[in-house]
Amino acid sequence: MKPKVVITDSVSNDLSIELSMLEGCADVILGVGKTPEELKELLRDADAVLNCYTQLSEEMIEGMQRCKIIARSGIGVDTIPVGRATQKGIKVTNVPDYCIDEVADHTLALMLALRRGVDQGAVRARQGIWDLKGLTPIHRNAGCNLGLIGFGNIAQAVAKRARTIKFEIIVHDPFLSADAARAHGVKQLALDELLSQVDILTLHVPLNEQTRHMINDAALCQMKPGAIVINTARGGLIDTSALFKALDERRIAGAALDVLEHEPPHDLEAISRTRNLILTPHAAFYSIESMEELRTKSVAQIVQVLNGDEPQYWVNKNA
């Protein structure tokens, strides 16, 4: 009997890549659109699970009788109770290297759009206002402090791009050694120090209980009035209400968000009127090429495990 692979959902409506890679080695069951109870039943006798946006519960994991691997089509694994999966002996995988260039490019685009008044200027020009009077004060980028919270693959790619614009790079990452910081030519600071010094703050850490709302009212109060905040990582890293309040009270100069705590937001029109805020619809990861890479690599983890091999991107291997 062939192994059973359940696809809970996908980044694409077209599953041709997934089905072609699993053809012949597994029976594929689609869980798209199922209720939590229906999905729990489908997962009970699954040998492997391909997951993207659907939140898997601990109860779902507990009910799995044969599962060897849960492969996430994404970098983060916050849709998977990794601890419970580990207890059950289930391998959890992700794709940590699929959209590095796309997210780094998008991050840089957002910070430059804010710093150079591109978004405001474009709106005013379309309204027939051809002057600089209403734009946020624009300062020279060369020499300003770019603060990166987290210094993994994407943050390193952002830093590389930012150096060409003559930004000064400062970093907060508890897992970054002093030797690694020196090798990358970045200055490692405590979080409080970094917040007080940044002109641009950009976030590049996973969402977990330690990082949720790490940018809250207290953190924002430590920042300079001319600072801006960029988030292309996870919406829950920022207390959104506190951020919008800081923007409205002009305690910081601006923010650009590709991710929000709740997507889509309940009142997008009202949020979009927030002073000096740029929103993009969770698009930083996207390109045609990155989607093909993501889908191929995530399914490859399942194929490797079903063939008796270790997966390449084994998140809980040493847990």
* Annotated catalytic residue 282: yes
Q: Residue 3 has what DSSP assignment?
A: -
SS (H, E, C) 103-137: HHHHHHHHHHHHHCCHHHHHHHHHCCCCCCCCCCC
Question: Active-site residue 234, yes or no?
Answer: yes
Strands (E), the chain: 4-7, 27-30, 48-51, 69-72, 91-93, 145-149, 168-172, 187-188, 200-203, 228-231, 254-257, 277-279
Residue 71 near residue 9, CB atoms below 8 Å: no
Helices (H), 116-198: 118-126, 153-163, 178-184, 191-197
Which position among 106, 115, 234, 295 bears the catalytic label? Answer: 234
Cα dihedral sign, 307-6-30-284: negative
Residue 308 corresponds to which tokens in the numbers above? 């008796």
Which of the residues 44, 251, 282, 293 is marked catalytic? 282
**CB-based burial of residue 35 (10 Å sphere; 0-12 exposed, 13-18 middle, 19+ buried)?**
exposed
Identify whether 249 is a catalytic site residue.
Answer: no
Buried b (16+ CB within 10 A) or exposed e, 108-142: bbbbbbbbebbbbbeebeeeeeeeeeeebeeeebe
Q: How many whole angstroms separate alpha carbon 7 and alpha carbon 30? A: 5
Separation between Cα atoms, residue 211 and residue 236, nearest integer Å: 8
Marked catalytic residue, from 249, 263, 292, 310: 263
Catalytic residues: 234, 263, 282
